[in-house]
Structure 1
Amino acid sequence: MEQFTPQEFEIYDMHAHIFPHKISEKATESIGKFYDINMHYSIGETERLLAAEAMIGTKRTLVCSVATSPKQVTSINNFIKDECDKHPELIGFAALHGDYEDIPGEVDRIISMGLHGVKLHADFQKTAIDSPKSYKIYEAIEGRLPVLVHMGDYRHDYSHPTMLAKVLRDFPKLKVLASHLGGFAAWDEAEIALHASENVRFDTSSAIGMMSPERAVRLIRHYGTDYCMFGTDFPMWDPKKEAQTLLSFGFTREEYQRIFSENAKEFLGI
């Protein structure tokens, strides 16, 4: 099996979280408590992210933050916009919430700010991905912006793979990046319910290090290496270790280049 290093590839990290300085430590700690894990980084700030990405030569990083209440939407999107302006290597995904009073208006503003998509985390927002509230968001972004959706977690009933399958049937033109290979801790269900397509892609964050290499390869092969993208879930995990884990799976150079960057560029149209 040919051995590769991260530096041999152009890398796009398609799943990272950043927070403003004043709440960064608290927000990072809260994520660790929610998942009952030790976060690799204790502070999820932009500078820490960029330093971690520099260790593997990452070219672009998708950054987002989740609005757990509608009142957070505007400030989060302003923050993401400002960070992307300061750091052109960042790809900003905006926040939305099903209870936000003017979802279509905020979508217009998101597009005008040059942000590239929307991030939803149903478990944090306590809103199922196939609920009427979520459908209001899909109606506003379908054909306009892609959505990065948290997937899975057997402890909650907000983002099960079968729910995403229903969403995709109801919104055939919606572009979706399904995180965690389609179902954090629900990968058997994801393999049955979900399939890749032109509008449906998957990221490797919080997935490839949490299952056997054989299981990870099988799931990536199920979706196809043309439809999976590298992601780290910073500050939860270390980009260098995540890249090394992926590189241990024995894909070809061409397949790795697809996963590390080419699929991301095609999905985002950049």
Structure 2
Amino acid sequence: MRTPVLDAHTHVWPDHIAARALAGRVPGMDASFDGTVAGLRAAMDRSGVDRAVVMGIADHARHVHRTNEFIGGLRSERLVPFGTVHPELSVEENLDSLRRHHVHGVKLHPLFQGFSLDDRRIWALLEAFDDEFPVITHVGKGGTPETDRRATPAMLADIVRTFPRLRLVACHFGGFHRLDEAEEQVVGLPVVLETSWPPTLAGLDAARVREVIRRHGADRIVFGSDWPMSDPATEIEVLRNLGLTEQETAGILGGNLARWLVGADAAEVTA
């Protein structure tokens, strides 16, 4: 029986703003797809992804409620909505927006939202989330010297140690284009790591990726494509060819995330 494939990392926008939202989003990197809900569903069908975490991000506080309304409205058997918060709103306003719009969890994106992961306003939110709202966060570089400083592996490590009850996934193996730091400061900590590395994970040495997965524990790794920046079909193929066991690969491609989404300790996951 085939293990369902789950994608931990996709982004969408309303049709009328998707092209504008993606234009120049990350300096030096172009999106591979259009960022619409229909585009995501087509990519899922083509790549064999059964279920995806779909994320909305409010770059500004004034857009939080509207973004959560949009993303929460996508909840279905195939799409798991992860909404947004902003440190310029109070903890209570952020929590109310998440609950009112029935989002499953929260995506933090310091690059676009203008805060750093060590911002104590963000820490106040993380404390309030406790184990109610799982969190997925970008970690690593962002294309400019300023954004590169907003989400470092060291900041992530501090969060992991400070909030042991927080259900947390760190994107890009805990450090996009900061993999040396992530290997030193994050790998092995009690946090779930996600595999996306746009434009493709194939840009990393397969032996190194395999070693990172084994050191951290394959049961605490989840597949993410970062659609629309990358093609899920390509990324799945890269993961299948890393030389991991069938059990490890099945867990990464679906079993681990399925358990995490319902609150199970990822360390207990077996594919």
TM-score (structure 2 length as normaliser): 0.89
Q: Which one of the candidate residues 44, 69, 80 is aligned to 2:71?
A: 80
Ranges in structure 2 where 5+ consecutive residues have no aligned partner: 264-271
Q: Deviations over 1:98-134 (max 9, x none)?
A: 111x333432442354321100011111211011121
Q: Is the CA contact 2:86–2:94 (under 8 Å) kept in the aligned structure 1?
A: no
Name 1:127's counterpart in structure 2.
115
Are 1:104 and 1:140, in contact at CA under 8 Å, matched by a contact in 2? Answer: no
The aligned residue for residue 104 of structure 1 is: 92
The answer for the alignment partner of 1:29 in structure 2 is 23
1:51-200 correspondence runs (5 A) = 51-84=42-75, 87-100=76-89, 102-153=90-141, 155=145, 156-196=148-188, 200=191
Number of aligned pairs?
A: 257
The residue that corresponds to 2:193 in the other structure is 202
What corresponds to 1:12 in structure 2?
6
Structure number with the bigger relative contact order (C-alpha 8 A, sep ≥ 6) is 1
User: 2:10 & 2:262 partners in 1: Cα distance?
Assistant: 19
**Structure 1 letter corresponding to 2:85:** L
CA contact (8 A) 2:84 2:98 kept: no
Output the CA distance in 1 between the equivalents of 2:38 and 2:46. 13
Partner of 2:268: none
1:74 CA displacement: 0.3
Provide the aligned C-alpha RMSD in A.
1.8
Q: Distance in 1 between matches of 2:5 and 2:46?
A: 11
- Pairwise CA distance, 1:209: 2.9
Distance, in Å, in 1 between the alignment partners of 2:244 and 2:113 is 36
Residue identity in the other structure for 1:18: V
Does the 8 Å CA contact 2:157/2:189 hold for their aligned counterparts?
A: no
| Cα distance in 1 between the residues matched to 2:185 and 2:149 | 15
Q: What SS class does the counterpart of residue 8 from structure 2 fall into?
A: strand
Identity %: 30
